[in-house]
Amino acid sequence: MVAYSFKPGFIPDIQARVKCQTIRLPRKRHARRLDQLQFFSGPRMAPVRIGAATCVAARDVRLDFEADRVTLDDFEVIEGDEALNAFAIRDGFRVADRLASISEIAPWEYMTRWWRMTHPDSPVFRGVLIDWGMTFEAAK
């Protein structure tokens, strides 16, 4: 079992099965295909269980925000507004319905701005994409 913690803003999209992947920095052991995943939120000493899922894929990912390009496993390239927006939505960066009417920001632009604020010194991010598809089950 591999555990991942999420910021509170991502929880509604995880529960709605809109966010079905996460991108993380490399570490010694990430989830692998068919591993069981546990999702939490909150402080490390008192986490709240969100639910569980099964890893359907774990891939190397390169996010290039200057070139507007995502590369998976060094060969699959995601480019273009439609594909990048779909990728951003899968990662939890859809513009909330309540904001869509007042904001013209696209999901990829939203993701780009968030990453630049979170990782200001790296216009290119290399990490691991953990995909659980539609396997999420909410905690009881």
Bridge partners of 126, per DSSP, are 62
What pLDDT does residue 97 have?
57
pLDDT at 120 over 60: yes
Q: How many domains does the chain have?
A: 1
**Of 139, 135, 137, whose CA–CA distance to 56 is shortest?**
135
pLDDT at 94 over 60: yes
**CATH number, domain containing residue 114:** 2.30.130
What pLDDT does residue 73 have?
97
9-27 core/surface letters (b: 16 or more CB in 10 A; e: else): ebbebbeeeebbbbbeeee
**Of 26, 4, 3, 22, whose CA–CA distance to 13 is shortest?**
22
Residue 129: partners with Cβ closer than 8 Å, 6 or more residues away = 21, 22, 23, 57, 58, 59, 60, 61, 72
What's the pLDDT band for 96 if we cut at 50, 70, 90?
low
Instruction: Give me the percent of the chain exceeding a pLDDT of 70.
Output: 94
DSSP symbol at 8? G
Mean pLDDT, residues 39-61: 95
What's the pLDDT band for 104 if we cut at 50, 70, 90?
confident
What pLDDT does residue 84 have?
97
Domain that holds residue 89: 2-138
pLDDT at 98 over 60: no
